[in-house]
Structure 1
Amino acid sequence: MTRSIAITVTSGVVLCLDQTTKAWAVASLDDRVIDLVWTLRLRLVHNTGFAFSAGQRLGPVLALVAIVIVGVLWLSRRRVQGQWASIGLGGIIGGALGNLADRVFRGAAWGRGAVVDFIDLQWWPIFNVADACITVGLVIVLVHLYRSERRRTGASREAPG
């Protein structure tokens, strides 16, 4: 599978999974909390800001920033080497698109929508599937870049000078 296809498929899967789980959360968690295990529970919140609810009322700006980030990530896909890095980048793009869709389609005006969050660990800010995929995707890409750099610098040290 080519990089672009892997990134596109992963992004699409993440976007669909994110929007499906958010639709379920909005329909099912409006008036209740579901305790699952230990501190994990499902509780609906609407976030008009970004990470840790910072930046409230910046919805249109955040939407534009998300569009730029998705564009830059898509254009940088040629630099990503390997299946795992492609999947990681697809997770980041799909998650960004999922949260962008909330900002664009869940409000009275463009960019004024709130992101639906519902995964509550009670000791960490409430998040959603898109947030989780962005985080996991970023870790995958960073680990891949770190390992690639170690291989590259290790090989250059071994080369005769």
Structure 2
Amino acid sequence: MSAQDRPVTTRAAANPRVRLLAGIAVLVLALDIVTKTVAVAQLEGREPVRILGGLIYLQLLRNPGAAFSLATGYTWVLTIVAIAVVVVIIRVARKLRSTGWAVALGLVLGGAIGNLTDRIFRAPGPLQGHVVDMVSPFAPDGRAFAVFNLADSAITCGGLLLVLLALLGREMDGSNARTKKDDTENE
């Protein structure tokens, strides 16, 4: 096949780290949609379901706020923040050369889109929708810990991985900031 016959691809799409990021984001989004759909169908109007000896309670809650039900009166602001996060991740993805960063950003992107989907399409209306939460650790009603969903878990895990990568000096381009610093000091 000659160069003229090859399909045109962008550098970002050809980048295996970008494909990894996108694959993780799509997987997180799909699992989030499925778990929320099942939760609404099975938990609506029911008392909390105790599983794992009370370690976890499954309970349907609709959260207008952020984590721990903070900022409940600012659903539209949270929607704009989620859109900004999605846009920033998509824009920086083309610079991505690190597998760790691809995994972390894929988790955050998938989770952000999952909760953003709720904010756009769920009641009470566009940009004001309540996020479906269903996992309550240790006690029902979020008495021991916040009630959350798969998207929240992905965002949290991705965020923790980003912090770890930063502490280890790992850069998005695959380089190590500590090694760069040592190299410049030795010159």
Q: Could you tell me the TM-score, scaled by structure 1's length?
A: 0.90
Query: Quick one: distance in 2 between partners of 1:85 and 1:119?
Result: 27
Query: Quick one: distance in 2 between partners of 1:26 and 1:33?
Result: 13
Structure with larger RCO (C-alpha < 8 A, sep 6+): 1
Q: What is the one-letter code of the residue matched to 1:20?
A: V
Comparing 36-45 with 72-81, greater Cα deviation is found at: 72-81
Residue 48 of structure 2 aligns with which residue? Answer: 33
Query: Quick one: distance in 2 between partners of 1:79 and 1:140?
Result: 18
Correspondence for 1:8 among 10, 19, 22: 22
% same residue: 30
Correspondence for 1:52 among 68, 73, 88: 68
Superposed structure 1 runs of 4+ greater than 6 Å apart: none
Correspondence for 2:106 among 90, 99, 111: 90
Deviations 1:55-93 (A, max 9, x none): 113222211121111101221224444212201100000
Q: Could you tell me the TM-score, scaled by structure 2's length?
A: 0.78
Aligned positions of 1:50-129 closer than 5 A: 50-121=66-137, 122=139, 123-129=144-150
Tell me if structure 2 keeps the 8 A contact 1:14–1:91: yes
Correspondence for 2:178 among 148, 153, 157: 153
**When the two structures are aligned, how many residues end up with a matched partner?**
161
Q: CA deviation at 1:18?
A: 0.4
Structure 1 unpaired stretches of 5+: none
Query: Quick one: distance in 2 between partners of 1:115 and 1:154?
Result: 42
Comparing 56-65 with 77-86, greater Cα deviation is found at: 77-86
Structure 2 unpaired stretches of 5+: 1-14
